[in-house]
Structure 1
Amino acid sequence: MKRKEIQLERILTIFTTIDLSLNSFQGNIPSVIGNLHSLVGLNLSHNHLVGSIPSTFGNLTNLEWLHLSLNKLNGRRVPIELGDLSFLGYLYLSENQLTGPIPQDKQLNTFTRDSFRGNQGLCETPLRNTCPGDAQPPPPPSSFFQKDSTREHGNGFDRKAIGIGYASGIVIGISITYVTCEIGRPKQLA
């Protein structure tokens, strides 16, 4: 029925697979799709769908694959309810405009980054970027010899501490040389 303009009055709830990809559908994904409890596969990819993924998809307990790639979905998060779908083996949400953290529990943490790529606002595992606000602040600077705030090359040591280290090394080196010359060479080195 692709590329034919038809008006559906209702969808049979016994459908196990629905493929509405490569159409020009616009608007939000209807939440009533969550009532299709027999659904095993759903493909709505390559359309112009916007809005968020309905949380009612969590009712699709038999769903094994979900393909929503290449739309304009812009929800603030991937619904945590998708993690409740224990049979979900294939998930494709790539190339949308989804944002926020990917839920890290149950089923969703088993998918690779390919399932989520192309959503610049998504973050957390399996993607390599962290969510804003999740980054740990740098540790407070050490108080060791910290009178002035200028740092040499940003390495955490100020000039005074480095100078004291060099001076201490020189004094210790001269002392060892003097003691060795006065006492004589140690027997272990002879």
Structure 2
Amino acid sequence: MKFASIDMSRNKFEGDIPNIIGGVHALIGLNLSNNKLTGFIPQSMGNLTNLESLDLSSNMLTSVIAAELSNLNFLEFLDLSNNHLVGEIPQGKQFNTFSNDSYEGNSGLCGLPLLKKCGPEQHSPPSPTSFGVKWLVIIFGGQPKRRVRRRTRVRRTNGSNMNQMIQMS
């Protein structure tokens, strides 16, 4: 059984595209354009083997284009334009049939069909897991600085000289 296309465009949806979407195997069209979706394109979307049309345009998606999307053998229409996608555009199968218009407005994308060539760092884009680890480092990396500031405040209230505080740093 195949579903007709699901059109949830222009609904001001926010947040990530849920991974569970990849479990709707009978889906032939999905339009989530013109919302406020963020985050990654779920790898699970590569399981939508009957998908013929995918429109994720005009959102705030940030990440690489999931390589799993190149498994969509029946995909005839793809619009990922006007997001914040980065990295190399997957190659092979249906991805070789899409024009620049499918990717327009994503300044971080490179590779065919775009004229922008990929540098070495763009050939192996970060995975969602490594992206999360980077955020953990940023979040927890800032913690010791806060402790130093608190100690500095305590020392200042205990009558320490400002010059001594600077020399101790």
Q: What TM-score results when the alignment is normalised by the length of structure 2?
A: 0.69
Helix, strand or coil for the counterpart of 1:86?
coil
Cα offset, 1:109, TM superposition = 1.8
Aligned residue identity for 1:84:
N
2:86/2:108 contact within 8 Å kept = yes
Q: Which of 101, 116, 137 in structure 2 is aligned with 1:129?
A: 116
Alignment of 1:137-152 (within 5 A): none
Is structure 2 residue 4 aligned with structure 1 residue 16? Answer: yes
1:29 counterpart residue number:
17
Q: Secondary structure at the match of 2:54?
A: strand
Kindly indicate whether residue 39 of structure 2 is the aligned counterpart of residue 51 of structure 1: yes
* Counterparts of residues 1-190 of structure 1 (less than 5 Å): 15-75=3-63, 77-133=64-120
1:120 and 1:109 map into 2 onto residues whose CA distance is 20
Matched position secondary structure for 1:117: coil
- Alignment partner of 2:6: what SS? strand
Structure 1 gaps, min length 5: 1-12, 135-190
Distance (whole Å) between structure 2 residues aligned to residue 36 and residue 61 of structure 1? 10
Supply the distance in 1 between the matched residues of 2:85 and 2:16 (Cα, whole angstroms): 14
- Which 5+ residue runs of structure 2 have no aligned equivalent? 122-169
Residue-pair matches, total = 122
| Alignment check: 8 A CA contact 2:2 2:28 kept | no
Higher strand share: 2
Shift of 1:15: 3.5
Secondary structure of 1:69's counterpart equals: coil
Aligned letter for 1:102? I
In the TM superposition, structure 1's runs of 4+ consecutive aligned residues that sit over 4 Å from their partners are: none
Aligned pair in 2 of structure 1 residues 25, 113: CA closer, same or farther (>3 Å)? same
Question: Structure 2: how far apart are the matches of 1:39 and 1:125?
Answer: 27
**In structure 2, how many angstroms separate the alpha carbons of the residues matched to 1:38 and 1:25?**
23
User: Which structure has the larger Rg over C-alpha atoms?
Assistant: 1
- Alignment root-mean-square deviation, CA: 1.7
Larger RCO (CA under 8 A, 6+ residues apart): 2
Shift of 1:14: 6.2
Query: Which shifted more, 125-134 or 63-72?
Result: 125-134
Percent of residue pairs identical: 53
Distance between the aligned counterparts of 1:37 and 1:103, measured in 2? 22
Per-residue CA shift, 1:45-102, capped at 9, x if unaligned?
A: 0000000110101110110000000000001x11111111111000000000000000
| TM-score scaled by length of structure 1 | 0.61
Matched AA of 2:47: N
Secondary structure of the structure 1 residue equivalent to 2:120? coil
